[in-house]
């Protein structure tokens, strides 16, 4: 039996995969950029970015549409970027490990083609990460429009390929993640202890998209956090999180609007009980919000302080949204947030992600 690394080399070779996926040129070396260590109380901290986009060129060719993310967070900026540039950018931002994910733009694709696309993506990402285990890890991608297939892909991605969980959209071809059709996927994610990174998809709600047209990128600045808010709220209010209490969900962009306005969710069924199913959800909605995880992409130290106050420092992990230049100093954002203890800063900068994702010690 080949070990995992040999297996990944074999599949990569057999599939003719060239590691330009994720915008990276394999074999390039980091050069010339000084690594900026992140230090808390004199101690070097290992930092992790859980929100880092990429694409696999061969999968994009199979899909015959622009790379994932096109139109979501803007154009994919990684095109042609070398591994040296990528690592230099991580070093400049004080990021030790980037956990790569691909935004799903394949939820409308037929079963045969999407099976190929996901295989190419997951095997490419796994092989790439196996070559650079000290700097990169990756979430699996799955064909969630076929929940049984997605469950298999997740199991294969984690057990055979060593991927660290799964990245999914905030809705799937017009269906909410709380739709019972997805229960087999949630059951598998719970059984595997998989971290499920939920990233919004802007084209998910056509009526809303119409209202978000016009100047100012409203489909992104409002639409993305709103999609996450809706997705998480359905998972709470439809009882999905009661049915699968062990799920480890991590939401992009600080969870959208939900954590900052979650108490309204506790009062809806109290104020209008006739519109709520008795006993669903079992607990106050805010209890579920506090169980999920969120990235730190909330822009100001005050916003991060508030997120910490609502969900706890131990439920926040660092996220940059790379390659989109929303932030340039993600570690300083955490270091400059007032009221955090040193242990809490270390947890947000990397400690919690290392534990959650089971990242190996270098």
Whichever of 321 and 344 has its CB closer to Zn ion, that residue is: 321
Nearest residue to Zn ion, using CB? 321
Q: Which has the closest alpha carbon to 122: 3, 21, 16?
A: 21
DSSP state of 152: H
CA dist 240 and 244 (Å) reads 6
DSSP 35: P
- Min dist. Cβ of residue 300 to Zn ion (A): 18
Closer residue to Zn ion (CB): 269 or 353: 353
Structural tokens at position 158: 């984690």
CB 281 to Zn ion: min, Å: 28
Pairing outcome for strands 195-199 and 48-53: unpaired
DSSP conformational letter for 180: G
For residue 130, the SS3 value is helix
CA angle 295, 47, 36 (to 5 degrees): 125
CB of 71 to Zn ion, least distance (A): 12
For the bound state, the minimum distance from the C-beta of residue 78 to Zn ion, rounded and expressed in Å, comes to 13
Q: Which residues lie closer than 8 Å to 106 by C-beta, 6 or more apart? A: 63, 68, 114, 117, 118, 143
CB of 238 to Zn ion, least distance (A): 25
3-class secondary structure, 317: strand
Which of residues 73 and 227 has its CB atom nearest to Zn ion in the complex? 73
- For residues 7 and 322, which CB has a smaller minimum distance to Zn ion in the complex? 322
Give me the DSSP letters along 242-286: HHSTT-EEEESGGGTTTGGGTHHHHHHHHH-GGGS-TTSSSS-HH
Q: What residues line the site for Zn ion (CB under 5 A)?
A: 73, 321
Q: Which residue, 91 or 321, is less far from Zn ion as judged by CB?
A: 321
Q: How far is the CB of 118 from Zn ion (least distance, A)?
A: 19
Residue 176 or 321: the one with the smaller Cβ distance to Zn ion is 321
Which C-beta is closer to Zn ion: that of 310 or that of 321?
Answer: 321
| In the complex, least distance from residue 282 CB atom to Zn ion, rounded to whole angstroms | 32
């Amino acid at each position: 039996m080949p070990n995992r690394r040999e297996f990944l080399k074999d599949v990569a070779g057999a599939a003719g995969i060239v590691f330009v996926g994720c915008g990276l040129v394999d074999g390039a070396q980091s050069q010339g950029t000084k690594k900026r260590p992140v230090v808390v109380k004199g101690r070097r901290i290992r930092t992790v970015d859980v929100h880092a986009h990429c694409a696999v060129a061969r999968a994009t060719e199979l899909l015959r549409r622009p790379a994932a993310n096109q139109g979501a967070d803007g154009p994919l900026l990684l095109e042609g970027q070398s591994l040296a540039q990528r690592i230099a950018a991580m070093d400049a931002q004080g990021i030790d490990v980037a956990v790569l994910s691909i935004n799903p733009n394949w939820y409308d694709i037929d079963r045969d083609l999407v099976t190929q696309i996901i295989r190419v993506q997951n095997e490419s990402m796994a092989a790439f990460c196996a070559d650079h285990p000290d700097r990169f890890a990756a979430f699996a991608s799955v064909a969630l429009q076929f929940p049984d297939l997605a469950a298999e892909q997740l199991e294969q991605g984690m057990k055979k390929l060593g991927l660290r969980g799964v990245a999914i959209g905030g809705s799937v071809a017009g269906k909410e993640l709380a739709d019972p059709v997805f229960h087999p996927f949630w059951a598998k994610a719970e059984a595997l202890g998989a971290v499920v990174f939920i990233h919004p998809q802007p084209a998910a709600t056509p009526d809303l998209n119409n209202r978000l047209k016009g100047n100012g990128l409203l489909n992104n600045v409002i639409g993305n956090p709103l999609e996450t808010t809706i997705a998480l709220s359905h998972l709470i209010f439809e009882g999905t999180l009661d049915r699968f209490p062990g799920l480890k969900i991590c939401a992009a962009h600080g969870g959208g609007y939900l954590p900052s306005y979650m108490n309204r969710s506790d009062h809806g069924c109290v104020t209008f009980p006739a519109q709520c199913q008795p006993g669903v959800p079992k607990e106050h909605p805010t209890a579920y919000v506090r169980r999920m995880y969120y990235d730190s992409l909330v822009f100001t130290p005050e916003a991060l302080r508030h997120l910490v106050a609502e969900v706890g420092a131990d439920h926040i992990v660092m996220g940059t949204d790379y390659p989109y230049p929303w932030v340039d100093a993600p570690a300083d954002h955490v270091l400059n947030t007032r009221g955090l203890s040193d242990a809490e800063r270390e947890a947000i900068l990397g400690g919690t992600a290392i534990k959650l994702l089971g990242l190996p010690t270098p």
